[in-house]
Homo-oligomer: A and B are copies of this chain.
Amino acid sequence: MNPILVLGGGPAGLSAAGELAAIGAPTLLVERESYLGGNPVRWQYSLLAPDLHPAEDVMGPLLRRVEGSASIERRLGTTLVSAERSAKGYRVGLKNADTVETREVSAVILATGFDHFDSRRKFEYGYGRYPDVLDFKEVEKMLHEDRIVRPSDGQPPKRIAWILCVGSRDVQVGNPWCCRMGCVVSIKQAVEVRQKHPEIDAYVYYMDIRTYGLWEDLYWKSMQDHGVKFIRGRIGQVTLAEGGSRLLATGEDTILSRPTEVPFDMIILASGMEPSAGTRDVASLFGLPVGPEGFLTPRESDLNPVDSGIPGLFLAGAATGPKAIPDAVTEGMGAALRAYQYARD
């Protein structure tokens, strides 16, 4: 059997490759970055929401299973540059540095993931101009190292605000969809800060709190056990206050129906999820349909969530929309099973 190509080495791709190896299918894992692990490794995620497992305890085993397998051929720093149907599967071109190699593969799993919204595009929040306005993916590393300080002066903050839906649910920036993870990850960050530094006050500005299903438990606990404060409102802009030493969040409290203007030492933006460059590339290479948001769409979204609808082409993880890690892992399993059946038959 020609190998099954898994494109993307984040949680979904690692899960798919690991399961294919376990079932005995030769696997070719291709990742455009120089390392495996995707966004959780790239941004050094700290604890995972909502169960507060250290990210290493999840990514570590996923990575080791793939790295320890003799039946998985790994290609890092490699991109897919061409793809055409062949007798049974696909003939693909893989580019590493200046070399392009052609390979025959029996099926393809697209696990090309997401990118975080570039918060500089939400100009009015000052990200990139004010050093103490941070993106929440950068805060993961600070939490991981337990070094919660203001980049401007190295001092610990007294009061932190999280602004949800930055580049999400926002027609103005062209992203009307919800990033799904912004609420729960921000709440998790606020809990992590309060657990380690109860002297820091934590405020969350939101439109709707979307801790769906059993995630609600973390929302309750964040208020009752950790004293995180929630303000339903839209922050219109962030400016400098007090001679430039603090930040001022200005907007409307939509429960009290009145303007709000509060100084903070640090402001953390919950940036949205967008289709990654790799996801956009494969959509174009394979001529795959995408939804209005630019994510890949299964042809039968309810009945066959991991099938592209094109023979031999399967989907897993955030390439089809914002997703939590366990969902990406499970989709990796589903796509592995379907691809294996296809390649074997």
Among the listed B209, B217, B306, which residue makes an inter-chain contact with A176, where contact means beta carbons less than 8 Å apart? B217
Name the B residues within 8 Å of A287 (CB-CB).
none
- In the complex, identify which listed stretch (A73-81, A103-111, A126-134, A332-340) lies at the interface while the others stay far away: A332-340
Query: In the bound complex, what is the Cα–Cα distance between A61 and B300 (angstroms)?
Result: 11
A residues 251-306 near B (Cβ < 8 Å) are 254-257, 291-293, 295, 300-306
Whether A177 and B213, one on each chain, are in contact in the complex, defined by CB atoms closer than 8 angstroms, is yes
Name the B residues within 8 Å of A231 (CB-CB).
none
Query: In the bound complex, what is the Cα–Cα distance between A305 and B19 (angstroms)?
Result: 14
A213/B19 contact (C-beta < 8 A), A303-B61, A330-B331, A333-B338 known? no
Let me know if A216 is at the binding interface, CB within 8 A.
Answer: yes
- What band does the interface of chain A fall in when counting residues whose beta carbon is under 8 Å from B? 35 or more
Query: In the bound complex, what is the Cα–Cα distance between A257 and B215 (angstroms)?
Result: 28
- Copies assembled: 2
Let me know if A341 is at the binding interface, CB within 8 A.
Answer: yes
Whether A321 and B214, one on each chain, are in contact in the complex, defined by CB atoms closer than 8 angstroms, is yes
Among the listed B53, B176, B302, B336, which residue makes an inter-chain contact with A58, where contact means beta carbons less than 8 Å apart? B302
Let me know if A211 is at the binding interface, CB within 8 A.
Answer: yes
Whether B306 and A330, one on each chain, are in contact in the complex, defined by CB atoms closer than 8 angstroms, is yes
Output the least CB separation between A277 and chain B (Å). Answer: 19
Output the least CB separation between A221 and chain B (Å). Answer: 10
Output the least CB separation between A157 and chain B (Å). Answer: 27
A321/B213 contact (C-beta < 8 A), A256-B257, A334-B330 known? yes
Let me know if A198 is at the binding interface, CB within 8 A.
Answer: no
Query: In the bound complex, what is the Cα–Cα distance between A21 and B220 (angstroms)?
Result: 43
Whether B57 and A303, one on each chain, are in contact in the complex, defined by CB atoms closer than 8 angstroms, is yes
Name the B residues within 8 Å of A33 (CB-CB).
none
Output the least CB separation between A179 and chain B (Å). Answer: 8
Let me know if A247 is at the binding interface, CB within 8 A.
Answer: no
Q: Ordered nearest first, which 9 A-B pairs have the shortest CB separation?
A: A333-B334, A208-B208, A180-B213, A305-B326, A178-B216, A58-B302, A337-B337, A330-B334, A180-B212
Residues of A within 8 A of B (CB): 19, 22-23, 48, 51, 53, 57-58, 61-62, 169, 176-180, 208-217, 220, 254-257, 291-293, 295, 300-306, 321-323, 325-327, 329-331, 333-334, 336-338, 340-341
A-B contact pairs, 22 of them (CB 8 A): A22-B341, A23-B337, A51-B301, A177-B217, A178-B212, A179-B213, A210-B210, A213-B322, A217-B293, A254-B255, A255-B257, A257-B257, A301-B326, A302-B326, A302-B329, A303-B329, A306-B333, A330-B331, A333-B333, A333-B337, A336-B337, A337-B337
